[in-house]
Amino acid sequence: MDFSSLVIVVSLISLAYYYLMRPRRSNKKLPPGPYPLPIVGNIFQLGERPNRSITKLAKKYGPLMSLRFGSLLTVVVSSPEMAREVLQRYDHVFSSRFVADAWEAYDHHTISVAFLPVGDRWRRMRKVFREVMLSTPRLDGSEAVRQTMITNLYDYLHESSISGKVVNIGEAAFITTLNLTAVTMFSGQVINFDVNATTEFKEIFGSLTSVSGKPNLSDFFPFLKPFDIQGLRRKMELHFGQLLGMFDGIINERLKVRQRSPGSSKKNDMLDTLLEFSEDKENELSMNDVKHLLVDLFVAGSDTTSSTTEWAITELLLHPDKLAKVKQELKDVIGDRKQVQESDIPKLLYLEAVIKEIFRLHPVGPFLIPRRIEENAEVNGYFIPKGTQIFVNVWAIHRDKKIWPNPKVFEPERFLNSEIDYKGQDFVLLPFGSGRRVCPGIPLAHRMMHMMIGTFVHQFDWKFEPGVTRDQVDIIEKFGLAMHKAVPLKAIPIKT
C-alpha cells in the first residue's frame, strides 16, 4: 500500500469508525491471529511481499489464521491438512470466489469461469473449457501451430547467439507464451521478437498483474467502492477494454470469413470451436461470453507461464549441475533435433522434476485465487463466518520444512521416483489449486512449459550479461497476479 493510500485511510477513520468496525459480539471462536488495529486491522503487516509476511505470521499463529484487512475478515490456510479440509472435505462450502473490485471491470466477474459462483452457469462455462477448448483431442489438433512458435523462439535464440545479443529471458518467454496461446486459440501470432511490437502487450499484461497485486481500499472498505480512490478499477477497465477490443476484431473477421465462404475449410482452433458451440442456442454462449473466455485464457496462461519459465531458467543457470542433467536428458531423448516436441514430454522425467520444483519454490499465485465462504462453517474447531475471504497459502505449504527437506534449496531430485504431482490431488503441491476450482488450463500449461524450457536449454549454453556474476543474480520476487522476478534475468545464449 502506498503512502497516499495510508493518508486516505487515516483521514477516513473518524468518519468510517461507526459504520465499519463496531465489534461483533460472538461467543464463537475465530482462528487465532495477530491483534488487529482499529479500523485498518492488519493492513500494515502486509508489506511489499505479502507472501512472505503472511507466511511469517502463520508460523506464529498456526495453519489456520485470522487476519483483518479493514472490514474484511480473511482466514489463511497454511498446511496441507487444512488445505485438504477447505479444498476437498468442505469444498462445497468454500467454492465461491472473493471478487476484488478491480476484476469487476466490464462485468468480467459475471462471465469469467474463474469468478462465477458455483452453479449451472459456472458448470456450463467450465464444460466449455474442459471439453471444448482444452480437451486432449483439441490440443493434439493444434500441436503443429504451437510447434511453429517454438521454432520461432529457437530461431531468435540462435540469432542472438550469433550476434552476442543479451536476451531478456522473461520477455522472450512472454512473447513465446503469448503466441503459443494465440495460435492455439485463433491460429494467429500476435507479436514478434521486435521490442517495439511487444510494448503494447507488455503494458497491458504488466498493468493487469500490477493492479491485481496491489492492496485495494475498495476491497478492505466496501463503502469506498463507488469512489475507486486508487483508480485500480479504472486502470483495469482501460486494459480490459483493449483486450476485448482486440478479440472483438478477431471474432468479427472470423465471422465474416465464415459468412462469405460457409463451405471453406475451418482452422480447427479454439475460436472456431467456440463459435460453433455458441451457434447451438441450448449452450447459451453469447459473443460477449466468448470474448471473456478468451481473456481468461490469455491472462491466466500467458503471464503465469512466462513467469514460471523465467524462474526455471534462473534456477538452472544458478545450478550448473542441474542444468547439465537437463541438457543430457534432452540430448538422450531428442538427439540433434532443434527443439522439444510434445510427443517427447513423457520421456523427459528430469525436466518434469525441474518443473515441479519450480512450481514448489516459485508458485505464481502464492495464495491461489482467493475464495469466499457463503455460509458459516467450522474447521478444526474454529468458527469461520459467512463472507470471510479465504487464502490458501501455497507459498507456506511449498516451503514447509516439515514437508520438504531443505525447502529453500532448488532440488529437482526430490521429485524423481515420487508420485507427487501438481494437478490438484496432492495437497503438498498446489500451484494450480484443487477441488472443483482447480485451474482448467493445466493440460495446456503442461505442454507449453516443457517445450519452452527445453528449447531454452537444449542447444544453448548461457552466460550472464556483462558485469554480472552468478552471486549477483537477484532471486527476489515481485508480488502480483503472477510472481515475477523483481529484477529481470538477462543472459547471452551460446550455441552448442
- One DSSP character per residue, 410-479 reads --GGGGTT----SSSS-TT--TT--GGGS-TTHHHHHHHHHHHHHHHHSSEEEEEPTT--GGG----EE-
pLDDT of residue 187: 80
Identify whether the C-beta of residue 339 lies closer than 8 Å to the C-beta of residue 451.
yes
Binding residues are: 439
Identify whether the C-beta of residue 330 lies closer than 8 Å to the C-beta of residue 454.
yes
* Domains in the chain with CATH codes: 3-495 (1.10.630.10)
Strand partners, 372: 96, 389
pLDDT of residue 161: 96
147: which residues sit within 8 A by CB, 6+ positions away? 339, 341, 342, 451
Closest CA to 96 of 430, 378, 387: 387
Reading the block at residue 72, the C-alpha cell is 474484511
Cα-based distances in Å from 253 to 132, 249, 262, 272, 294: 21, 6, 14, 12, 16
Binding residues for heme are: 439
392: which residues sit within 8 A by CB, 6+ positions away? 77, 83, 86, 87, 367, 368, 371, 430, 433
Reported as type and span, the H/E element at residue 155 is helix 143-163
d(CA 398, CA 196): 38
Global pTM reads 0.91
pLDDT of residue 478: 86
Residues of the chain with confidence (pLDDT) below 70: 1-27, 189-192, 194-200, 263-266
Identify whether the C-beta of residue 411 lies closer than 8 Å to the C-beta of residue 357.
yes
Identify whether the C-beta of residue 317 lies closer than 8 Å to the C-beta of residue 470.
yes
pLDDT of residue 246: 86
33: which residues sit within 8 A by CB, 6+ positions away? 42, 57, 61, 65, 66, 67, 68
Identify whether the C-beta of residue 450 lies closer than 8 Å to the C-beta of residue 351.
yes
d(CA 164, CA 168): 13
Closest CA to 293 of 80, 35, 110: 110
pLDDT of residue 198: 57
pLDDT of residue 16: 52
Residue 240 class from Cβ within 10 Å (0-12 exposed, 13-18 middle, 19+ buried)?
Answer: buried
User: Coil, strand, or helix at residue 72?
Assistant: strand
Identify whether the C-beta of residue 119 lies closer than 8 Å to the C-beta of residue 96.
no
pLDDT of residue 18: 45
